[in-house]
Amino acid sequence: MQAVASAPAKTILFGEHSVVYGEPAIVGAVNKRAVVKIKPSWNKKSILRSYDLNFEAELDTANKKYVLKKGKPGIIRYILEALNKVHNHSPIEIVLSSNIPIGSGLGSSAAVTVATLAALYRYHNIRFNKKSLAHDSHMIEQSVQGIASPLDTLVSTYGGLIYLSKNKKIEHFKVNFNAPFIVGFTNKHGNTGKMVRYVKSLKSKYPKIINSVISSMGQLTNYAKQAIFKKDYQRVGKLMNMNQGFLDVLGVNTFELSRMVYTAREHGAIGSKITGAGGGGSIIALCPGKLESVAKAISKFDNILKLKFTRKGVSSRVYY
Ligand code: MEV
């Protein structure tokens, strides 16, 4: 018997950082996925391996410990936390495949967490629904990272383009947002916790300025929601550019991120901004009709992914 589950990566269109202070956000699942396969292990040891991410570890699921055989440990703590929540510690073999670049701001840890939990629920024949899966996955992210918003696990579970309102209500956009976009990412990974703490400290030093910036970011996200409904991509692009200005005020911009943002605009992107926490990591550039020229220009210095939003959230099944 084998349980398999997969979950998508995400990108934030509007609302990073301001969402931490209760403002709305718009996030979409993208066509890159993490896939987790679980089956019984025949040699009395629990093994986690990933050929894509080039690592292998022996897991002590009862004590949340591991011995690394190969590669970097990054993602293992999320998997151990999920195992500790659901698994009965019988020996299992977990194989993780993922085409989501790690540390690129695309929510790779959330996708892995959601896929691992869904596969474990299937493996143990435990009933679950999307609401409980998103919630449990968020709890795991929180316990590993110390700080996490529900955005990543939410969109990884449900798929599609989601508007998260001020009072944490989820609205699924019914329109297809099919303007092509690029995510550009540097080799310098962002650190979400560090960036969130930085904004918090800025907010306590300059409350009047930062509070008004954060509430303007919320306002801007609501304008963007209307523009998306109307498929007014030009307006979405303009609002992305304004959002970038606010993120710069919050101090999460870097030289490399700026270089990508302006290179994109210079080569025809109608909007470009940081996506995710910043301080390294990624930008998103909306570039209908200009995908190739923007991709070529950014990839002179940095890495790019040509992405599409996808409606497909988590999926899971069992094979006998
Ligand atoms: C990071 O992807 C987005 C932030 O808003 C933090 C969060 O929402 O957890 C910066």
The ranges assigned to domains in the chain are 2-173+312-319, 181-306
Integer Cα distance of 8 and 108 in angstroms = 8
φ/ψ of residue 53, rounded to 5:
-95, 0
User: How remote is the CA of residue 20 from the centroid of ligand 1, in Å?
Assistant: 7
Atom in ligand 1 nearest the alpha carbon of residue 148: 9
Atom in ligand 1 nearest the alpha carbon of residue 17: 5
Pairing of strands 25-40, 46-50: unpaired
pTM: 0.90
pLDDT, residue 145, reads 82
Q: Which of 139, 181, 195, 192 is nearest to 309 (CA)?
A: 181
- What does the block give as tokens for 298? 């950014």
Please name every residue paired with 123 in a beta bridge, in sequence order, or none if there are none. Answer: none
Average pLDDT, the chain: 94
Residue 148 beta carbon below 6 angstroms from any ligand 1 atom: yes
Greatest Cα-to-Cα distance within the chain, rounded to the nearest angstrom: 61
Residue 44, amino acid: K
Integer Cα distance of 106 and 275 in angstroms = 8
- What does the block give as tokens for 144? 């590993």
For ligand 1, atom 8: residue with the closest CA: 149
Integer Cα distance of 32 and 220 in angstroms = 28
Integer Cα distance of 58 and 93 in angstroms = 9
- What does the block give as tokens for 60? 């002590």
Residue 277 beta carbon below 6 angstroms from any ligand 1 atom: yes
Alpha-carbon distances of 271 from 106, 124, 233, 275, 290, rounded to whole Å: 18, 46, 9, 12, 12
Q: Where are the alpha helices (DSSP H) in the chain?
A: 76-86, 108-123, 130-145, 151-158, 192-205, 207-229, 233-249, 255-266, 291-298
Residues 6+ apart with CB under 8 A from 52: 96, 97, 98, 99
Positions in the chain whose pLDDT score sits under 50: none
Residue 276 beta carbon below 6 angstroms from any ligand 1 atom: yes
At the topology level of CATH, where does 2-173+312-319 sit?
A: Ribosomal Protein S5; domain 2 (3.30.230)
In a 13 Å sphere around the CA of 250, the CA atoms on its Cβ side amount to 30
Active site residue 152: yes
User: How remote is the CA of residue 278 from the centroid of ligand 1, in Å?
Assistant: 9
pLDDT, residue 73, reads 78
- Report domain 181-306's class: alpha beta
pLDDT, residue 205, reads 98
Residue 19 beta carbon below 6 angstroms from any ligand 1 atom: yes
In a 13 Å sphere around the CA of 203, the CA atoms on its Cβ side amount to 16
Q: Which of 136, 152, 248, 302 is catalytic?
A: 152
User: How remote is the CA of residue 266 from the centroid of ligand 1, in Å?
Assistant: 27
Q: Which of 218, 186, 40, 38 is nearest to 115 (CA)?
A: 38
User: How remote is the CA of residue 122 from the centroid of ligand 1, in Å?
Assistant: 29
pLDDT, residue 104, reads 75
Residue 149 beta carbon below 6 angstroms from any ligand 1 atom: yes
Burial of residue 181, with CB atoms counted within 10 A of its CB: 0-12 exposed, 13-18 middle, 19 or more buried: buried
Integer Cα distance of 170 and 27 in angstroms = 11
Residues 6+ apart with CB under 8 A from 46: 58, 59, 60, 61, 83, 89, 91, 92, 93, 94
The helix/strand/coil state of 89 is coil
DSSP state of 101: P
The helix/strand/coil state of 277 is coil
Residues in the chain, overall count: 320
